[in-house]
Amino acid sequence: MQFDYSSEPEDGAQHTEQYDTFYSRFASVHDLLVKILPIWRNWLKHALPWIQGPRVLEASFGTGYLLTQYAGQFETYGIDLNRRLAQVAKENLRQSGLKASLQVANVESLPYPAASFDSVINTMAFTAYPDGQRALAEISRVLKPGGGIVMVDINYPRDGNKANRGLESRRRYHPRPARIVREIWR
């Protein structure tokens, strides 16, 4: 199955390095904007009702704003590629009195066994991955049977979300349809 959710970069490593450099430089500003701009909080809050536990993974957690909204309710794990964002997220959790097992890792190669999580959350990040097929395959691999993918992103796929329709119709990656939450500009 080929996904056409956006044009993927020719050089995935360079693409990833550019994003990593940008977020390393602006992690603190990004954290502030997520906290003060109502539009960010509005987008992210739409993920909360869809989270099921007890074990939850947030892939590409950024500065951890969403983690601070649910980590006290679940056994929470998270990965992000950027070391600086991971530091900011750990500090935000500490200030909130919450705990989660966070690590620096790539969503295209998740450091967890298959069928580890009841929910995998991905907000405002999927369309930036250089290999969307690989990222979705990894997310699906670590999802337990009956679990759910909770996704909120700003750039809705140009193809009308063939990836999700493919998961539902072929059930290739997961025995039950993935739930994908979509929130776009209102």
Task: Give the pLDDT confidence of 106-158 residue by residue, as tens digits.
Answer: 999 999 999 999 999 998 788 778 888 899 999 999 999 999 999 887 654 45
184 lies in some domain: no
pTM of the model: 0.75
- Residue 37 DSSP label: -
- pLDDT of the residue at 114: 98
| Number of domains comprising the chain | 1
Domain extent, residue 88, equals 12-170
Residues comprising the chain, all counted: 186
Question: Is 4 inside a domain boundary?
Answer: no
Flag whether 3 is in a domain: no
Task: Let me know if residue 1 belongs to a domain.
Answer: no
So what's the pLDDT on residue 166? 43
Please check whether residue 54 lies inside any domain of the structure. yes
Residue 24 maps to which CATH number? 3.40.50.150
Write the burial class of residue 167 (CB in 10 Å: 0-12 exposed, 13-18 middle, 19+ buried): buried
Give the per-residue pLDDT at 185. 28
